[in-house]
Chain A
Amino acid sequence: MALLQISEPGQSLDPHQRRVAVGIDLGTTHSLVAAVRHGVSECLPAADGRVILPSVVRYLDPQQGGAGRQIGFEALAAQVQDPANTISSVKRLMGRTRAQVADVDKLSYSVVEDNGMAVVETVAGRKTPMEVSAEILATLRFRAEDSFDDELFGAVITVPAYFDDAQRQATKDAAQLAGINVLRLINEPTAAAIAYGLDNGSEGIYAIYDLGGGTFDISILRLTRGVFEVMATGGDSALGGDDYDQALAAWVLSQQGVTAEDLTPSERAALHAQARRCKESLSSQDVVRFDTQIGGRTLTQSITPAQFEACTTALTVRTMTAVRKVLRDARIAKEDVKGVVMVGGSTRMPVIRRTVGEFFGQEPLTNLNPDEVVALGAAIQANALAGNSRDGDLLLLDVIPLSLGIETMGGLVERIVPRNSPIPTALAQDFTTYQDGQTALALHVVQGERDLVADCRSLARFTLRGIPPMAAGAARIRVSFTVDADGLLSVSAKEQGSGVQASIDVKPAYGLSDEQIAAMLKDSFATAQQDMQARALVEARVDAERMIAATRSALSADAYLLEPAELAAIEVLIADLAQTLTSTDAATVEAATQALAKGTEAFAALRMNRGIQQALAGKKLEEV
Chain B
Amino acid sequence: MNLQSTDFEIFGITPAFALDRDALDARWKDLQREAHPDRFAASDAQAQRLAMQWSVRINEAYQRLKDPLRRAAYLCELNGVPVEAENNTAMPTAFLMQQMQWREELEEAHGSEALERMADEVAAAHREKLQALQHTADELRDYAALAQQVRALMFVERFARDVENRLDQLGQ
Contact = CB atoms under 8 A, between A and B. Distances in A.
Contact of B47 (A1, A184, A426, A485): A1
Interface string B12-53: 100000000000001101111111111111111111101110
A229 interface: yes
Given A424-B56, A619-B12, A386 B41 contact: yes
Contacts of B32: 227, 395, 397
A363 interface: no
B46 A385 contact: no
B87 interface: no
Contacts of B84: none
A593 B44 CA distance: 10
Chain B facing A: main interface SS? helix
Given A229-B29, A485-B38, A2 B48 contact: yes
Interface string B50-72: 11101110011011000000000
A609 B44 CA distance: 18
Given A5-B43, A395-B36, A425 B50 contact: no
A416 interface: no
B94 interface: no
B54 A608 contact: yes
B40 A2 contact: yes
B55 A387 contact: no
Contact of B43 (A1, A392, A423, A605): A1
Contacts of B47: 1-3, 5, 604
Contacts of A455: none
Contacts of A422: 59, 62-63
Given A424-B56, A612-B31, A619-B12, A485 B44 contact: no
A614 B26 CA distance: 15
A600 B56 CA distance: 22
Given A384-B38, A424-B56, A395 B29 contact: yes
Contacts of B100: none
A597 B41 CA distance: 16
B59 A608 contact: no
Chain A facing B: main interface SS? helix
Interface centre among B36, B37, B44, B48 (most CB of A within 10 A): B44
Interface residues of B, number: 39
A3 B42 CA distance: 12
Contacts, number: 131
A613 B1 contact: yes
A2 B44 contact: yes
Contacts of A154: 41-42
Interface centre among B35, B38, B54, B55 (most CB of A within 10 A): B38
A183 interface: yes
A482 B55 CA distance: 12
B136 to A, nearest CB: 26
A614 B30 CA distance: 10
Contacts of B43: 1-2, 5, 550
Contact of B12 (A184, A482, A547, A616): A616
Q: Interface size class for chain A?
A: 35 or more
A592 to B, nearest CB: 13
A421 interface: yes
Contacts of B169: none
B42 A608 contact: no
Contacts of B171: 324
A421 to B, nearest CB: 7
A615 B33 contact: yes
B88 interface: no
B117 to A, nearest CB: 19
B41 A184 contact: yes
B2 interface: yes
Contact of B45 (A184, A397, A597, A614): A597
A482 B31 contact: no
A229 B40 CA distance: 19
Nearest to B48: A2
Contacts of A151: none
13 contacts: A2-B44, A324-B171, A386-B42, A395-B29, A396-B38, A397-B29, A422-B62, A424-B56, A597-B44, A612-B10, A615-B34, A616-B27, A619-B26
Interface of A: 1-3, 5-6, 9, 19, 153-154, 183-184, 224, 227, 229, 321, 324, 381, 384-387, 392, 395-397, 421-426, 482, 484-485, 543, 546-547, 550, 593, 597-598, 600-601, 604-605, 608-616, 618-620
The 4 closest A-B CB pairs, nearest first, are A2-B47, A2-B43, A385-B41, A616-B12
